[in-house]
Structure 1
Amino acid sequence: MTQLNRNTGAAILGIGTSLPIHSIAQSDVAELIASSLQDSPDLARFAKRIFKSCGVETRYTCDDSYLGSAETCRYLPSGDQSVIPTTEERMKKYQQEALPLGLQAAEKALRNAGQSSGDITHLITVSCTGQYLPGLDVMLIRKLGMSPRVNRLPLIFQGCAAGLKAIQMARDVVLGAPGSKVLVVCVELCTLHFQPAKEREALFAASFFGDGAAASVIGAPESHNNHYLSLGSGYSVLLPDSTEEMTWEVGNIGYDLYLSPRIPKLLGTHLETELGVLFGNKKLPDLWAIHPGGRGIVDSVQDVMKLRDEQTHYSREVLRTAGNLSSVTIMFVLEAMRLDMIAQESASKEGVAMAFGPGLTAELMRFTFVPAYSSSIQEQNHAVL
């Protein structure tokens, strides 16, 4: 294990999160879905059951069409199907709404990290729910007043694992180019892709996805950086025999997402082995930042790894209050964890972050919560995992 001084290595120096202004109760979304399935009463009953048991109470959306009645919701109409927005319309809405949400998260992250936009050398933008050019990266540079020479790395259409992938890419940039400061911005507008379901599997995705954005600043920690997350080793792995279990394709009325109900079991089958690779014979950490891709995924990880309820609390709480925000979600979980550690005046603690996406892909990373800088720890060296 290499010992490095506090001002070397890579760390999340600040995190910012943002949600759209429109919140919707899970019970209201369930009613919209059920109303759109009037011709399929069995499917409507199944939808209500799934929505009630998936661990979500509230979600957020960038489109106020969901706030009205079933008769006025264009995404889940109970009547005339011709009103359903085309993919082109949904992409125009994405272009309109993604930038303000991402900008808000980015500004919060910069303030939290004590950095200015001029300090940023690299920008990684992440999204799988919308595309346009010039893209979100260009618009953020202009709005934030960043240098036009900032190295831009758009990461698109990689699913829920992409947020943690971007953090690991940022870590590698900082370690490979000392002095770099990387801004990661994830924006996902999942509710733009809701559409009337034709089969049970399609209802799983509709039951827990919501909209949101998150950003983080990654760089080498310095004496003025308080309460940061030191980034350790990690990697991405394709799990065997799982390619068709999660698919995300462009359709005529939005993106068509398929989630197999087998996903939690598959993750449970392979995750323990992969964590063994990541940690070797070392003790598993106290902190677990699990991407809440659904209640079943968190349940599976907790059961297989024999975690305590308090270790999965952060993931379950994000799922309950905001839903699954795709690539954005892992940063919500990490921020909830970091703020709780600060409130508890916690000592340094090791953790592991994980997120899952199409492939099936598991993204895994070790990290350490490092408390506020003080004279009592000024002379200490901190291990980089």
Structure 2
Amino acid sequence: MQTPTTDAQPSIAAVAVQFPPNRYTQDEAIGALIDLAGPDFRRFALRSGVEHRNTALPLAQYRELDGFTNANEAYIEVALDLAERALLTALDKAGVKPSELDIVFSTTVTGLAVPTLEARLATRVGLRPDIKRVPLFGLGCVAGAAGVARMHDYLRAFPDHTAALLAVELCSLTIQREDISVANLVATSLFGDGAAAVIAQGANRAGREHTGPRVLATRSRLYPDTEEVMGWKIGADGFRIVLSADVATIAEKYLGDDVREFLADHGLSPSDVTTWVCRT
């Protein structure tokens, strides 16, 4: 994304993030979770580079989660609170009223809710009865970027509209007590809890006072035979992480050429990009 001089593309009006109030050092988290995550958890957690983490629940309450049902009920309660605060903060920063939103996208992959989060928020925050909803599930770590891309597509078709994207993940509620695999230890050590909201406006709605970045173009790629590289196995015990050591190999094999091709299609090269935001 960059900020061009033209108003031909949708623009980002505001971004807001919210974290649960329960904040701990990594050492505190290790002490509380080591008997749940296994003895090797300390070694992985200390090498993760994480100094602090915010958790959906106070650490002592994780011992009380005796199955997927309790964990998912906690997910819905905390996710709604964080999503509401993130959305209202972003709307306030953008100078947009809840009733002015035309569509809300939501992304999550760490809990299940039907009706989905954005539907449950509609009356709580004052969205219009005719609000369009697009809940997205299963996009994982790339969900925020994919959500912005889909929001961009919509606003190109409806340049007079205003859109919101909600991304909520509560990874700590997916902890697996019986799983001592390297994948689970890495995930428990690294992945955190939080929510973000993005407000974007079509080209005809974006006011001159908004100087946020414009989304110029997006692209995604599907790689063959990678279904078992990253994801979840979902069952009676909830969300069990799938995380292969092949992630780095696949990124190295495909990513460079894909990025160069994408930029070239827009008359650019990697040397033209001054800031990179990467997530693998």
TM-score by length of structure 2 reads 0.89
Does the CA-based 8 Å contact 2:105-2:135 persist in structure 1?
Answer: yes
- Cα pair distance change 1:37/1:243, threshold 3 Å: closer
Does the CA-based 8 Å contact 2:172-2:192 persist in structure 1?
Answer: yes
Cα RMSD between the aligned structures? 1.9
2:229 to 241, 245, 249: 245
Amino acid at match of 1:53: R
Deviations 1:251-296 (A, max 9, x none): 32321112112212321222101101211162321111112xxxxx
2:250 to 266, 275, 280: 266
Q: Which residue of 1 aligns with 2:23?
A: 23
Q: Which residue of 2 aligns with 1:344?
A: none
Amino acid at match of 2:183: E
Q: Which residue of 2 aligns with 1:142?
A: 123
Shift of 1:99: 0.9
Q: How many residues are matched? A: 269
Amino acid at match of 2:176: Q
Shift of 1:47: 2.9
Q: Which residue of 1 aligns with 2:134?
A: 153
Counterpart-to-counterpart distance in 2, 1:122 and 1:37: 40
Counterpart-to-counterpart distance in 2, 1:273 and 1:131: 36
1:50 equivalenced with 2:14 (yes/no): no
Secondary structure at the residue paired with 2:127? coil
Counterpart-to-counterpart distance in 2, 1:156 and 1:24: 29
Moved more, 196-205 or 123-132: 196-205
Counterparts of 1:110-189 in structure 2, within 5 Å, are 110-189=91-170
Does the CA-based 8 Å contact 2:233-2:240 persist in structure 1?
Answer: yes
Amino acid at match of 1:278: F
Shift of 1:5: 6.3
Counterpart-to-counterpart distance in 2, 1:207 and 1:97: 21
Counterpart-to-counterpart distance in 2, 1:272 and 1:241: 19
Amino acid at match of 2:244: S
1:232 equivalenced with 2:216 (yes/no): yes
1:85 equivalenced with 2:59 (yes/no): no
Q: Which residue of 2 aligns with 1:257?
A: 241
- Cα pair distance change 1:242/1:135, threshold 3 Å: closer
Amino acid at match of 1:283: S
Secondary structure at the residue paired with 1:50? helix
Shift of 1:239: 2.4
Counterparts of 1:351-362 in structure 2, within 5 Å, are 356=280
Moved over 6 A (4+): none
Shift of 1:7: 3.5
Secondary structure at the residue paired with 2:228? helix
Shift of 1:142: 0.8
Does the CA-based 8 Å contact 1:114-1:225 persist in structure 2?
Answer: no
Q: Which residue of 2 aligns with 1:377?
A: none
1:103 equivalenced with 2:103 (yes/no): no
Shift of 1:243: 2.2
Secondary structure at the residue paired with 2:196? strand
